[in-house]
Structure 1
Amino acid sequence: MPRATAPRIWIVDDDASIRFVLERALEREQLPVRAFASPQEVLAALDADAPPQVLVSDIRMPGGDGLALLAEVKRRQPRVAVIIMTAYTDLDSAVGALQSGAFEYLPKPFDLTRAVELIRRAAEESQAHGTSDSEDAALPQMLGQAPAMQDVFRAIGRLSPSHATVLITGESGTGKELVAHALHRHSPRASGPFIAINTAAVPRDLLESELFGHERGAFTGAQTQRRGRFEQAAGGTLFLDEIGDMPLELQTRLLRVLSDGQFYRVGGQEPLQASARVIAATHQNLEERVRQGRFREDLYHRLNVIRLRLPPLRERREDIPALARHFLARSAQELGMEPKRLTDAARDRLAEQAFPGNVRELENLCRWLTVMAPAQVIAPEDLPPQGDAEGAAASPATAATGGAPDWRALLGREARRRLQAGDTDVWQRLSEQFEAQLLRTALAVAGGRRAEAAHQLGIGRNTITRKIQELGLDD
């Protein structure tokens, strides 16, 4: 018996209301549609009927996983375009769909007109060209349902598999290094090192050696040969932060590396092969710096082939409540405290603030609230004036850091809380947490290299190894 002609669009969601709304919208557009309540029903229909052009699936359903369904559908019918619906707005869930081979993902709650347009486009492209190849991207702790952030998530998903140089632009505090980590972590180079250097933070006379290394005797004090960041990042990713502040003479050397794929150590005679992918970032307006003669135009064009702009927080205000919840939970975990939560009124006031320091400023504010807010539920009156670091700066806890919480005041506050609660192991517990956080930070800055972390901390290599074991920091 011949198979009946299948509908062009299949929808699977355990939520009957979602199925109903999409069915009615697609039928109004004369797009034939068929709805299912579970992945098992979809797989059974694939066995019995001709496949659809587009499958629209929820990502999490009782008794089934949308990504597992995606994988099975792609295995059986590679040309089916799959759109994943997700109510989860973190990057892992959002672009995990792209990583697994989806045509696109649709964040809930979605605009119905936009959803129909996306489904129609998927059907047209599936019919004409087949389904798009899978793309990789995921990074925990990057959150956002705002359209501007959804565009960033998609870009990360599509750029991750590439070896091409990427330029990330955006104001300070928007998360440029997080994006660089995402591009590395889900690239073919993920098993290699991720090496980051802030070119604005290294003195001009040391930056060349930091980047390219030096030979013994290359200059006064060069008593041994040293590998530079390009060598350390071999097979992985080199992240050049604040590239707009790089001195002109080093811009010339960087251009040669990007053009020729080779470089020399300072004082070296033998060319070395550059095998690291370069990701650069800046908060500067590079076009303006080119006009001022402070940035090479040819390097600008070399870097600007693939550009990813991160939106400031004021362009994604709808993400502020979710980000605040996330940072409050993380701060509580780091400080060993119970997580605090915002009242609706406090949440609304936060969403109205300017946050010139962007996500970093919001994160610092949440740390401050974790320690300084008097109750577990944060009310509007607990927020600093204007909801930003300027208000927090009036407190003694922030005076030493110009607005961000002073760690010594935070430590004192936490010690007082524990002592007043009658704890008898305050010294041991807080000392362990202090040492653990210090070691984690040093290892992160040193890219996981214990010897370098120990050197920067001013302790011996045996000491850092012992402390890591004592504190249970081993992977």
Structure 2
Amino acid sequence: MKPIWIVDDDPSIRFVLEKALARENLPTRSFSHPREVLDALADIAAGDSEHSGPQVLVSDIRMPGGSGLQLLEKLRELQPGLPVIIMTAYSDLDSAVSALQRGAFEYLPKPFDLPKAVELIRRAVEESQREQVAEDRQTHAPEILGQAPAMQDVFRAIGRLSQSSVTVLITGESGSGKELVARALHKHSPVAGGPFVAINTAAIPKDLLESELFGHERGAFTGAQAQRRGRFEQADGGTLFLDEIGDMPFDLQTRLLRVLSDGHFYRVGGHAAVKSNVRVIAATHQNLETRVKDGAFREDLFHRLNVIRLRLPALRERKQDVPVLTRHFLQQSARQLGVEPKRISEAALARLEAFSFPGNVRQLENICHWLSVMAPAQVISVQDLPPEVLQAPAVPASPETVPSAMAGMGMAPQQALPSSMVELPEAASPAAVPSQPGAPMVASASMDHAPAQPQAGWEQSLEAEARHLLREGRPEVWDILTRRFESHLIRTALHETHGRRMEAAQRLGIGRNTITRKIQELGLDEHRGAEDA
């Protein structure tokens, strides 16, 4: 691990921190002046030093001939992801606030409590390590992020289609990332060297859509001052992405069918056929089978488009992807706004994972942008989340009911898929899914009449209490029960270890900093005086 750099003109402060951190197996390197820090960083950058850069930097705010704030500003330029802790006397608290505004990780008022100082430095180390992992992932980040099994199916489908230019139909709810999948299909295809042209057929007025798709000749209609190439011509040799294809006007569907059949079309007002070699990818959030039955979508066009179908899962079906997506969008928002990326607490992440996200990934992206602007602190806590998240009930995912993204991969051209591939069958509704050991409980109107399942006493009590709170309409049921559970668990572990936090953390399988933070958050201060063994 990289060392903790300590910058202070007071040798006693450096000595105390060095010894305390050494007891925690944290390496250190000390400096008496900010200029020495900058020189050391320059040597490392030039490859002339045997030392490594800092994991965390702890700096005094006032030193002869130098300022911790000036050093902080330099480090923001040289190493923007480096956590910096500013030490300050109580009389310098205004400067400490200024330090936080300039991107400091935290400030440490002097005189400080040594265990608290070490704990703060540990938190900064963990944050630095998380940021390094996040940066590594970002460096090698694909165009689509996702670790959930349903998203892995999508990735496998893209891989299998990489040698083909076959027509693909992408289905999924609004905001689930259908255009990203279309771009990935284009990028990993034989026509990747050609253009990728996208058009949202629902966003363009009916009178203009034909011209947008096929172009027009000069004088074809009022305002047509010159010949114009349509999207099919623009996408020649590449991919045309037709988003929201289910909303295409019925009469235009006939013209689209002709293009898909033989690659020829006529510009509006034109008499000469135009040939275009285009790979078509279509997407919709609607059930096209239902649209066909209702007479709103041509059945023959449906079969032309439905050669290969990829179903993109909703975000609530891939909740394990919420943390990585959240951190990605916070980084992205920070770059757009030109500010320091905000971090998010584990409790706030848990609350986001419990949210149903009716707007899917797009909604999460908007929330992260909102947080980048509106959250008051550098670390986002639960109370900073927007009202739609805080006021919404938690909806657990039911991954066992999610149809495969590869539905239709082995299908012959023009073969219609069973409706169960597009719509969840009745037996797959949350109320009808038999509970599995360890699976989250799903509240539904039919639970009261469901056969009782044998379970341990504490689980039965938990379910009864959850039922009671939900029926009362209490807000934040998740937080209420989680706090109770964590409080009892930590109290019990501390009792069994006679108040020794480190041993309690080890036996619980969590980190020492985690149990310390939880004790503070939950108000379990009666154990504060106990010493770690």
| Deviations 1:31-78, CA, capped at 9 Å, x for gaps | xxxxxxxxxxxxxxxxxxxxxxxxxxxxxxxxxxxxxxxxxxxxxxxx
Residue 326 of structure 1, aligned match among 308, 325, 328? 328
The offset of 1:363, in angstroms, is 0.5
Query: 1:179 aligned to 2:181?
Result: yes
The partner residue of 1:212 within 210, 214, 226 is 214
Native 8 Å contact 2:201 2:245 kept in 1: yes
Alpha carbons of 1:365 and 1:388: their partners in 2 closer, same or farther (altered >3 Å)? farther
Distance 1:88 1:258, change over 3 A: farther
| Contact 1:238–1:277 (CA under 8 A) maintained in structure 2 | yes
The corresponding residue for 2:367 is: 365
Gaps of 5+ in 1: 1-86, 94-138, 392-475
Matches of 1:388 and 1:177, distance apart in 2? 29
When residues 328 and 389 of structure 1 are mapped into structure 2, their CA distance, relative to the original with a 3 A threshold, is farther
Q: Counterpart of 2:460?
A: none
Cα offset, 1:276, TM superposition: 1.2
Secondary structure of residue in 2 paired with 1:280: strand
| Partner Cα distance (1:356, 1:375) in 2 | 27
1:285-312 deviations in Å (ceiling 9; x for gaps): 1111111100000100111110111000
Asked if the contact 1:90–1:144 (Cα under 8 Å) also holds between the matched residues in 2, the reply is: no
After superposition, the Cα gap between the structure-2 partners of 1:199 and 1:89, relative to the gap in structure 1 and judged at 3 Å, is: farther
Please, which of 337, 360, 376 is the counterpart of residue 378 of structure 2? 376
**Within the alignment, does 1:249 sit opposite 2:251 as a pair?**
yes
Contact kept in structure 1, 2:158 and 2:188, CA below 8 Å: no
Q: State the match for 1:233 in structure 2.
A: 235
Distance 1:284 1:263, change over 3 A: same
Q: Which digits, 9 at most, give the CA deviation of each residue in 1:236-286, with x for residues without a partner?
A: 111111100000111000001001111111111111112111111111111
User: Which letter maps to 1:175?
Assistant: G
Corresponding residue for 2:146? 144
Q: CA deviation at 1:215?
A: 1.1
SS in structure 1 at match of 2:303: helix
Give the Cα separation in 2 of the matches to 1:389 and 1:202.
35
Distance 1:92 1:315, change over 3 A: farther
Match of 2:347 in 1: 345
Q: Which whole-Å CA distance do the structure 2 matches of 1:255 and 1:290 have between them?
A: 15
**Contact 1:212-1:265 within 8 A present in 2 as well:** yes
Detail structure 1 runs of 4+ shifted over 2 Å in the superposition: 87-93, 388-391
Contact residue 331 and residue 366 of structure 1 kept, 8 A: yes
Question: Are the counterparts in 2 of residues 160 and 182 from structure 1 also a CA contact under 8 Å?
Answer: no
Partner Cα separation in structure 1 for residue 379 and residue 138 of structure 2: 28
Partner SS state of residue 160, structure 1 = helix
Q: Which residue of 2 aligns with 1:78?
A: none
Aligned residues of 2:240 and 2:278 also touching (Cα < 8 A)? yes
Q: Provide the C-alpha distance between the structure 1 equivalents of 2:353 and 2:197, rounded to a whole number of angstroms.
A: 35
Q: Secondary structure at the match of 1:289?
A: helix
Shift in Å, 1:150: 0.5
Instruction: State how far apart, in whole Å, the 2-side matches of 1:171 and 1:91 are.
Output: 26
Q: Hey, what's the Cα distance between the residues in 2 that align with 1:344 and 1:277?
A: 44
What stretches of structure 2 of length at least 5 have no aligned partner? 1-133, 394-533
Check 1:91–1:335 CA distance in 2 against 1; reply closer, same or farther (3 A cut). closer
Residue type at the aligned position of 2:386: P
SS of 1:164's partner is coil
Q: Which of the two has higher C-alpha Rg?
A: 2
1:288 aligned residue (287, 290, 304): 290
Q: Which residue of 2 aligns with 1:278?
A: 280
Report the Cα offset of residue 222 of structure 1.
Answer: 1.6
1:399-438 Cα offsets, whole Å, 9 max, x none, are xxxxxxxxxxxxxxxxxxxxxxxxxxxxxxxxxxxxxxxx
Match of 1:300 among 296, 299, 302: 302
Contact 2:143 2:184 in 1 (8 A): no
Deviates more, 1:306-315 or 1:377-386: 377-386
Q: Distance in 1 between the 2:162 and 2:293 partners?
A: 31
Amino acid aligned to 1:285: N
Flag the 1:178–1:260 CA change in 2: closer, same or farther, 3 A: same
Aligned to 1:200: 202
Quote the offset at 1:188 in angstroms: 1.9
Is residue 335 of structure 1 aligned with residue 355 of structure 2? no
Deviation at 1:161, TM superposition (A): 2.5
1:214–1:225 Cα contact (<8 Å) kept: yes
Amino acid corresponding to residue 185 of structure 1 in structure 2: K
Distance between the aligned counterparts of 1:294 and 1:201, measured in 2?
18
Change (3 A) 1:389 1:223: farther
Q: Please give the secondary structure, in 2, of the residue aligned with 1:330.
A: helix
Match of 1:46 in 2: none
Residue type matched to 2:282 in 1? Answer: A
Check the 8 A contact 1:240/1:280 in 2, yes or no.
yes
Residues 42-441 of structure 1 mapped to structure 2, 5 A cutoff: 140-387=142-389
Q: Which residue in 1 is equivalent to 2:122?
A: none
Q: How far apart in 1 are the matches of 2:328 and 2:334? A: 10
Deviation at 1:90, TM superposition (A): 7.2
Q: CA RMSD in A?
A: 2.4
Does the aligned pair in 1 maintain the 2:355–2:392 contact within 8 Å? no
CA spacing shift, 1:377–1:92, aligned 2, 3 Å: closer
1:158-185: CA deviation from partner (whole Å, max 9, x where unpaired): 1133111111110000000011111111
Q: Give me the TM-score of the superposition, normalised by structure 1.
A: 0.53
Q: C-alpha separation between the residues in 2 aligned to 1:321 and 1:165?
A: 33
Deviations 1:187-209 (A, max 9, x none): 22122111111101111011111
Provide, for residues 124-147 of structure 1, a one-character-per-residue CA deviation record: whole Å limited to 9, x for no partner: xxxxxxxxxxxxxxx834111110
TM-score (norm 2): 0.47
Amino acid at match of 1:206: L
Task: Output the CA distance in 1 between the equivalents of 2:316 and 2:244.
Answer: 22
How big is the shift at 1:389?
10
Q: CA separation in 2, counterparts of 1:344 and 1:370? A: 17
- The answer as to whether partners of 1:353 and 1:386 remain within 8 angstroms in 2 is no
**Match for 2:337: what amino acid?**
L
**In 2 relative to 1, CA 336–91 (structure 1 residues): closer, same or farther, beyond 3 Å?**
closer
Distance change (3 Å), C-alpha of 1:264 and 1:223: same
